[in-house]
Amino acid sequence: MSLGERSFFVPFSTLANLFKKPETIAYPKEDLDVHGVKGPSLKYRGMHANDHDVCIGCGNCSTVCPTAAINMISTGVNDAELTGANAQRPTVDYGRCCFCAFCVDACPSGSLTMTREYIFTRASEKESPLEELIWKCDEFTLEPGSRWSENPGWQCHGEETWLDLERSHMEHMTPEKRVGSFIEFVLGFTKEEALREAARCIECGICTKTCPANMGIPEYIRGIYDNDLEESVRVMYETNPLPGICGRICTHKCESVCAISHKGEPVAIRWLKRYAIDALGPDKVAEIASSAKEMFSPSGKKVAIIGAGPAGLSAAYYLSTMGHGVTVFERMPKAGGTMRYGIPAYRLPDESIDNDVRAMAEMGVDFRMKTRVGTDVSFESLRKDYDAVLVAVGFPMGRSTRIENHDHPDTGLAILLLNQIRLGEEIPVHENIVIIGGGNVAMDIARSMARLQKVKYGKVSIILTCLEGEGEMPADNEEIEESIEEGIIINPGWAPKAIELDDDGKIKGLKCARCLRVFDENRRFNPKIDEDDLTFYPGTQVVEAIGQASDYTFLSEDDLAAMGHERGRFKVSDGMDSGLKGVFIAGDIVHGPDVIHAVADGHKAARSIDTLFNQG
Amino acid sequence: MEMDNLYLANLREEKQNMWGGLVNYFRKRSMWMLYYCTGCGAIELPPTMTSRYDMERLGMGPMATPRQADLLLITGYLSVKTLKRVIWSYEQMQEPKYVVGFGSCPINGGIYWDAYPVINHLEAFIPVDMSIAGCMPRPQAIIDAFEKLMGEIQEGKAIGYKRYEKHYDWYKKNQDAVLGRTEAVLKPWNDPFASNPSVDELMALEKGESNV
Amino acid sequence: MSDNILARAGKMHGDKIECREKYKAQLEIKTHRDYVLNLLTWLKSERYVHLSFMSCIDWIEENEFELVWHVFSYESKNHILVKTRLNREKPWMHTAINIWPHVQPYEQEIHEMFGVYFPGNPDLSGLFLHNWLDLPPLRKDFIAKDYSLALYTTDALGLTPPFDDIDIVEITAEESRDGE
C-alpha cells in the first residue's frame, strides 16, 4: 500500500477521541467507582475499627499478628472488676501492619473489623530528627475505635474465622440408655479429642478471672495441649484440690465467659480438666497433690474443720500443705458432703470423690467420720482443743414451699431423697410425679426419679415446674436439655398454689398459677402472680426442690449472733473469719450452694488461718 | 534559640525574598522523581504514573538520574545494601530535595521488622518528608501524599534537606552504626576455612582426623 | 521415567548411590560427597545437560548440611535431584565448576549464606550481604530477630526508645479523615 491511496483526512479521525470519556481517574476529583459505592472493594482491608462495647480485650489479635503490630494497652479500668472481659484494648502500629486481616479473622468477639478507609499520610513536622522519628512512630500508632466504622470493609462473620467454633466430639450415652441406670453417662474425651479441644483455647485468661477459685485455666489447658499432663494437674492443685470432682460437676462459670462463646461453643474447660485427671490416673495425681507439702515444715498448730464437703476438704488440703495439723469432723460415714450424698452418681461417681479425698488422707489429714459436732463432740471443746475452727457445714437440709398439704406423706424434699438414694435406701416412687423447682437440685432429683421410674415402671412420667420463666431457670442449660432428652416435661413460669387431694386423701396433683416475674426491679425475690391464670399438673407424688437449709443446732444463740448469722447465711470478711476469734466460716453457708465457690472459700480460709498463726 | 528553629528560619528566608512564594509555586508544580524501587511498593507506581491515575496531571514525571531529580521515592523496605545506595543517591540530588517513604516499612520496619538485612526506621538515616501508611499504599493514597507534599512545599515546610544539613552528624552516626560495623552484632563467625585450603589439604586433614 | 534412567543409574553406579522415584518425572539420587562429581559428570553425559539450580538445607538436629543439585534433561523432560550430606562443623564440597561453569555464583551464594566452603571456586567473596561479620544468616542457629533487634531498633542505634511514655488517644469521628 502506498501513501497516496489513503485519504488525506485520516489523521483527523483521532479527533473523535476528544468526545470519549477518558480512562484516567482524576483522583482526588473523582474516584474508582466499580463496586456500587465509590472507593475500593466492599470487602477492602483498610484501617481497623474496633467496637469498644463488644471488644473483650482478649488480646488474640495481638497474639496472631505476624508483624507484632498490635499491642494491648490498659483502659485504666480495674481489671478485676470487669466480668467477661479484660481491661485492655488493642492499638495498631501502621508502621508494622501489613493489612492481612489475621486479627479480624481471629477476633473471637467480632469487634475488630477493617474499613474501606485506607488513606493515612503524614508530612514531617518536627525540627529535630529524633523528635521526628519518635513522633512519626507515635503518629502511625492508632487505637482503632469507632473512627472510620461508618465505612465498613472486611468483616468476619463466623464462617471465615480461624477459630474452631465447634466443640470436639465427646461420647455420651444415648438418653434411652442412660435413663435406665445410675452409671456415669458422660464418657469423657479420648486423647485425640482432648488435644483438639485444648487447641481451641486462645489463652486470653478471662476464665481465670471469672472462676471463683481463679484456677489457671489457660495454663492447664496448655499442659494438656503439650501432652504434659503432670504440669497440667500441678497447676490445677495450686488453686483447686478437688479437680477430679470439679472436672465433672463444676458449675463452670468459666465457660459462660469463654471468648470463643461469643461466636461459637465455649471451650469444654470442665471436660478437659476431667480428661487430665482421668488420663493421668489416681496414683500419679495423689503424688502430685502431696508434693506441695514438702515445701513447708510442720508448724505444730492444729485446725478443726466441721464438715467434709468441698469447702472443708479444700481448706484441709491447703492447711496441711502449709504444715498445719488438720482434723475433719463429718457426721456421714464418708467424706464428700453434698457431693457424695446429694449429687447423683450418674453425674459424679464415687470413685472420683474417693480419688480426690485419697490424696488428702495420704497427706495426713485426720478424718473423724460419723462424728456429729454438737452431740458427739461439742463446739466449745473444739474451740478449746484446737488453734482454729473452720465451720463448713453446708446445706444438708431441704426447704419447703409451705403450700397447702405440703406435709402429706407422699411429698418429699429433694435433698433428703437424693441423700437416701445415694445411701442405697429405697424411696417411694410413684408412676406420675410432679417436681417443684428449677435449679440444679431439681434437675438432679427429677433425673434420679426418672431413672427409678424407668426401672420400676418402664417409662418416665415426670412434670417439673418452677417459678422462673423459660431461659431464666437457674439450672445449667445442659442439665435442662439432658432432662428433656430423658423424657422429663419442664413447664417453667408457674407458681405452686396447693397440692390437691382426692376423696381418699391421696394426692391428685398440683395446682399452679402463672408467675409473671420472679425478681423486682431491685433484683429482690418478689414474685408477681396472676391468680386468674391457673393450671393443674396431675400426679400422685410431689417433690419440693426449692432450696436448702443448714443445721446450726450445734451453735448457741450467742455464738450465732457473734458470727454474723443473718437469714440462714453468714456475713464474713474477705478472710472468711467470723466474729468469734479463731472461728472461720466457708462454703455454701457463705456463698450459697456452688462447689467451686466452696473450694475457693476453703482456700481463702486456709490462707487467713495461716496468716493468723503466723501473727500469733 | 529561635534561630535554631529550621521552620522559622526557612519561613523568614522566604518572606525576605519577594519571589519566594512564586518560586515555591513553580517548584511544587514541576517535580521530577527518582523512584528507588527497592521493595514491593514499586508495583503501585505504574498505575500511578501511566494513564489510569496519570501522575503527569500533577506536574510530576520520572527522571533518569539523581542529579536532575527533586523527589526520591523509597517504595518499601530497604535492605542495608540498598540503604547505602539510597544515601549516595540522596546526597547527589540537588537541593531542594524531598523524600517520600511508601508503606509501613520505612516507618517502623513493616512486615520485615525482624528480618536480618532490613532496616526499621528510614527516618534515622535520611530525612523523610512524607510517609504513607499501607502495605502497599494504593495509587489514591500516593496521589494524596503528593498533593499534601505540594502543599508543604508551597508553605515552605518541606525542609527535610535542611534538617539533613543541620543534623548531618546525627544521621551520619546512625548510617555508620549500620553500614560501617567493625564488630559482629551477635556472635562473630570463625570461618574454619579462612586459610582457603586446597582439596588435598582438606582430604589429608580429614584422613588424619579419622586416624586419630 | 521415560529414559529408564533409574535402572541405568543403578546398573552404572551400584551401591554407591541410593535412588528413589519421587514423582512421575522427578528422581532423587543420594550419594557420598566424594562421589557427587562422578555422578554429575555421568548425568551430563546421559543428556542431563542443564543444571537448573543448586541449594542447601540446614538439618541442624542431625548436625548436617544437605546440598542439592537440580539437574534437568531437555530430551526426557526429567528432573533429577542429586543430594549429599556434609558435616555441619566443617562443611566443604568439591566445586562443580568444571562440569557447569555457571555453578560458580550458586556456590558463592551457598558459601555466603551457609558457610559451606568450595575449594576450587575462584570467587567466594560476599555476594548479597553488606559488611557481614556474624554467622552466615541462613544457618538455623542464627536468630534473625535477635540480630534485627540488636542492630536496627532505636535502642540499638543509641536513640531513646520511642514507646516510653506515649499515651495513645483515640481520635474522634469528627477529627477523622486524618486531619484534612
Q: Please indicate whether residue B11 or residue A122 has the higher confidence score (pLDDT).
A: A122
| pLDDT band per the 50, 70, 90 thresholds, residue A78 | confident
Query: How do the domains of chain B map onto residue ranges?
Result: 3-179
In a domain, A529, yes or no: yes
Q: Please indicate whether residue C3 or residue C154 has the higher confidence score (pLDDT).
A: C154
Identify the domain containing residue A252 by its residue range: 165-280
- Mean pLDDT, range B33-45, rounded to an integer: 84
Give the per-residue pLDDT at B16: 63
Distance CA A605, CA A192 (A): 39
Distances (CA, A) of C19 to A146, A462, A508, C39, C77: 62, 73, 88, 12, 18
Give the per-residue pLDDT at C51: 95
The answer to whether the Cα torsion of A66, A68, A69, A71 is positive or negative is: positive
A122 plus A231 within the same structural domain: no
**ipTM score over 0.95, yes or no:** no
What angle (nearest 5°) sits at the alpha carbon of residue A574, between those of residues A605 and A273?
60
- Above 90 in pLDDT, residue B72? yes
- Mean pLDDT, range A218-237, rounded to an integer: 94
Query: Which residues on chain B are in Cβ contact (under 8 Å) with C148?
Result: 109, 113-116, 118, 120
How many inter-chain contacts (A to B, CB under 8 Å) are there?
Answer: 128
CATH 3.30.460.80 fits C5-178, yes or no: yes
| pLDDT band per the 50, 70, 90 thresholds, residue A600 | very high
- Above 90 in pLDDT, residue C49? yes
A473 plus A415 within the same structural domain: yes
- Above 80 in pLDDT, residue A295? no
- Mean pLDDT, range A506-515, rounded to an integer: 89
- Percent of residues, chain A, with pLDDT higher than 70: 99
CATH 3.40.50.12280 fits B3-179, yes or no: yes
- CB within 8 Å: A148 and C159: no
A448 plus A563 within the same structural domain: no
Cβ of residue A120 closer than 8 Å to a chain C Cβ: yes
A534 plus A405 within the same structural domain: yes
- Mean pLDDT, range B128-152, rounded to an integer: 92
Give the per-residue pLDDT at C1: 63
- Mean pLDDT, range A489-513, rounded to an integer: 89
- Above 60 in pLDDT, residue B3? no
- Mean pLDDT, range B12-27, rounded to an integer: 76
Give the per-residue pLDDT at A478: 84
| Mean pLDDT value across chain A | 88
Query: Which residues on chain A are in Cβ contact (under 8 Å) with C160?
Result: 130, 134
Bridging pattern class, strands C79-87 and C26-31: parallel
Which one of C171, C174, C175 makes the best mutation probe of the A interface by having the most chain A beta carbons within 10 Å?
C171
A375 plus A407 within the same structural domain: no
- Report pLDDT digits (tens) over A448-476: 999 999 888 888 899 999 888 888 888 88
A104 plus A193 within the same structural domain: no
Give the per-residue pLDDT at A560: 82
- Above 80 in pLDDT, residue C165? no
Q: Chain C: nearest CA to A395, how far in angstroms?
A: 52
Q: Please indicate whether residue A90 or residue A291 has the higher confidence score (pLDDT).
A: A90
- The CATH number covering residue A428 comes to 3.50.50.60
Final residue belonging to a domain, choices A516, A548, A580:
A548
List b or e across A267-301, with b for residues whose CB sees 16 or more CB atoms inside 10 angstroms: bbbbbbbbbbbbbbebeebbebbbebbeeeeeeeb
In a domain, A524, yes or no: yes
Give start and end residues of each alpha helix (H) in C1-53.
5-13, 36-45
- Above 60 in pLDDT, residue C166? no
- Percent of residues, chain C, with pLDDT higher than 90: 63
How are strands ordered across the β-sheet holding B31-36? A121-123, B130-132, B98-102, B71-74, B31-36, B60-62
Of A130, A141, A146, the CB nearest to C168: A141
Final residue belonging to a domain, choices A160, A180, A213:
A160
Query: Which residues on chain C are in Cβ contact (under 8 Å) with A138?
Result: 162, 166, 168
- Report pLDDT digits (tens) over C134-157: 999 999 999 999 999 999 988 888
Nearest to B118 by CA among C127, C129, A68: C129
Q: Chain C: nearest CA to A65, how far in angstroms?
A: 15
A155 plus A171 within the same structural domain: no
- CB within 8 Å: B186 and C119: no
Rounded to an integer, what is the distance from CA C82 to the centroid of its chain?
13
In a domain, A14, yes or no: no
| pLDDT band per the 50, 70, 90 thresholds, residue A568 | low
A328 plus A361 within the same structural domain: yes
- Above 70 in pLDDT, residue C169? no
| Mean pLDDT value across chain B | 87
Give the per-residue pLDDT at A2: 59
Distance CA A138, CA C168 (A): 8
- Report pLDDT digits (tens) over A393-414: 888 888 888 888 888 888 888 8
Pick the residue from chain A with its C-alpha nearest to B100.
A123
In a domain, A7, yes or no: no
Query: Which residues on chain C are in Cβ contact (under 8 Å) with A147?
Result: 170-173, 176
Interface partners of chain B (CB pairs < 8 Å, 3 or more) are A, C
A543 plus A572 within the same structural domain: no
| pLDDT band per the 50, 70, 90 thresholds, residue C161 | low
Residue ranges of B 69-88 with Cβ closer than 8 A to chain A: none
Give the per-residue pLDDT at C171: 43
Give the per-residue pLDDT at C100: 94
Lowest mean pLDDT among B7-21, B161-175, B183-197: B7-21
- The CATH number covering residue A145 comes to 3.30.70.20
A69 plus A57 within the same structural domain: yes
Half-sphere exposure of B211 (CA within 13 A, CB side): 6
Would you mind telling me the total number of residues written for chain A in this entry? 616
Q: What pairs with residue A491 in β-bridges? A: A465
φ, ψ for residue A531, nearest 5 deg: -70, -15
In a domain, A30, yes or no: yes
Give the per-residue pLDDT at B207: 82
Distance CA C72, CA C74 (A): 7
Distance CA C83, CA C68 (A): 5
- Above 60 in pLDDT, residue C47? yes
Give the per-residue pLDDT at A3: 60
- Mean pLDDT, range B151-172, rounded to an integer: 89
Retrieve residue B156's grid coordinates.
Answer: 515552605
Cβ of residue A147 closer than 8 Å to a chain C Cβ: yes
- CB within 8 Å: A134 and C160: yes
What angle (nearest 5°) sits at the alpha carbon of residue A80, between those of residues A77 and A83?
90
Query: Which residues on chain C are in Cβ contact (under 8 Å) with A94?
Result: none
- Percent of residues, chain A, with pLDDT higher than 90: 36
Give the per-residue pLDDT at A616: 66
Cβ of residue A133 closer than 8 Å to a chain C Cβ: yes
Retrieve residue B79's grid coordinates.
Answer: 535492605
| pLDDT band per the 50, 70, 90 thresholds, residue B11 | low
- CB within 8 Å: A97 and B133: yes
A122 plus A226 within the same structural domain: no
Give the per-residue pLDDT at A197: 94
Final residue belonging to a domain, choices A128, A160, A192:
A160
Of B115, B119, B179, the CB nearest to C131: B179
Q: What is the three-state SS of A274-330?
A: HHHHHHHCHHHHHHHHHHHHHHCCCCCCEEEEECCCHHHHHHHHHHHHCCCEEEEEC
- Percent of residues, chain C, with pLDDT higher than 70: 87
In a domain, A219, yes or no: yes
- CB within 8 Å: A31 and B140: yes
- Above 70 in pLDDT, residue A276? yes
- Say how many domains are in chain A: 4
- CB within 8 Å: C166 and A143: no
Give the per-residue pLDDT at C172: 43
- Above 80 in pLDDT, residue B119? yes
Query: Which residues on chain B are in Cβ contact (under 8 Å) with A40?
Result: 138
Confidence (pTM): 0.83
- Mean pLDDT, range B34-53, rounded to an integer: 86
Distances (CA, A) of C159 to A605, B120, B130: 52, 13, 21
| pLDDT band per the 50, 70, 90 thresholds, residue A517 | confident
A103 plus A68 within the same structural domain: yes
In a domain, A105, yes or no: yes
Which one of C148, C149, C166, C180 makes the best mutation probe of the B interface by having the most chain B beta carbons within 10 Å?
C148
